[in-house]
C-alpha cells in the first residue's frame, strides 16, 4: 500500500503543505517539497488500514468537501493561496469536532514530515544537534574494537 496516492492525491497533499507554510516562505525554500510529499505518502501507506482509509478520505474531503463539512463549489486545489488559507482556517476553527480532528490529523502528519527535512532543521538552528546525534549513533554502531576509547584507554 505504499504507493496509495495518485497524482490528484499528491497534488492535494502538496497544496495542503504549501498552504500551511504560506506564512513562512523560508520553510518552503528549505525543503524539497516533492520529497516531503513522497515521504508522507509512504508513511500513510504503512498505517493500519483504518487510519490509511481515514487519511485518504480526509484528503478527498479537503479537496471536494461535501455538506455539512463545507459548501464550497471549487476544489481545494483550484483555489488561489488566500482562498486555501481561509478554507483551512475554517477547518481548523470549525465547531464540528470531527472536522477539526481530521484537519489536525493531516496537519500533524504533513508537518512532521516537513520538519524531518535536514536542510530545514539546519536553517532553524538544529545543525549542531544533528551532527552530535549522528556522531553518537555512528560511535554506537562501531564494534567495540573500533570504537573510540575514552580517557585512560577505557571504552
For residue 152, being part of any structural domain is answered with: no
Question: Which of 128 and 14 is assigned the larger pLDDT?
Answer: 14
Query: In terms of Cα–Cα distance, which of 36, 37, 47, 28 is closest to 116?
Result: 36
For residue 147, being part of any structural domain is answered with: no
For residue 112, being part of any structural domain is answered with: yes
User: DSSP assignment, residue 48?
Assistant: -
Q: Where are the alpha helices (DSSP H) in the chain?
A: 7-20, 25-29, 33-45, 49-63, 81-92, 97-114, 118-123, 127-141
67-109 residue pLDDT tens: 776 777 889 999 999 999 999 999 999 999 999 999 999 999 9
For residue 139, being part of any structural domain is answered with: no
For residue 141, being part of any structural domain is answered with: no
The CA distance from 21 to 125, in Å, is: 18
For residue 111, being part of any structural domain is answered with: yes
The CA distance from 137 to 69, in Å, is: 46
- Count how many domains the chain has: 1
What domain range is 24 assigned to? 7-127
pLDDT tier at 2, thresholds 50, 70, 90: very low
For residue 150, being part of any structural domain is answered with: no
CB neighbour class for 97 (10 Å; exposed up to 12, middle 13-18, buried from 19): exposed
For residue 74, being part of any structural domain is answered with: yes
Amino acid at each position: 500500500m505504499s504507493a496509495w496516492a495518485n497524482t490528484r492525491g499528491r497534488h492535494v497533499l502538496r497544496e495542503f503543505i504549501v498552504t500551511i507554510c504560506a506564512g513562512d516562505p523560508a520553510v518552503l525554500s528549505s525543503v524539497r517539497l516533492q520529497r516531503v510529499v513522497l515521504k508522507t505518502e509512504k508513511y500513510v501507506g504503512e498505517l493500519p488500514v483504518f487510519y490509511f482509509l481515514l487519511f485518504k478520505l480526509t484528503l478527498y474531503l479537503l479537496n471536494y468537501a461535501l455538506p455539512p463539512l463545507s459548501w464550497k463549489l471549487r476544489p481545494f486545489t483550484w483555489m488561489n493561496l488566500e482562498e486555501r488559507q481561509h478554507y483551512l482556517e475554517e477547518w481548523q476553527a470549525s465547531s464540528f469536532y470531527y472536522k477539526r480532528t481530521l484537519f489536525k490529523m493531516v496537519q500533524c502528519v504533513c508537518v512532521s514530515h516537513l520538519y524531518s527535512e535536514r536542510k530545514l532543521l539546519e536553517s532553524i538552528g538544529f545543525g549542531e544537534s544533528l551532527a552530535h546525534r549522528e556522531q553518537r549513533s555512528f560511535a554506537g554502531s562501531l564494534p567495540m574494537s573500533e570504537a573510540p576509547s575514552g580517557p585512560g584507554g577505557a571504552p
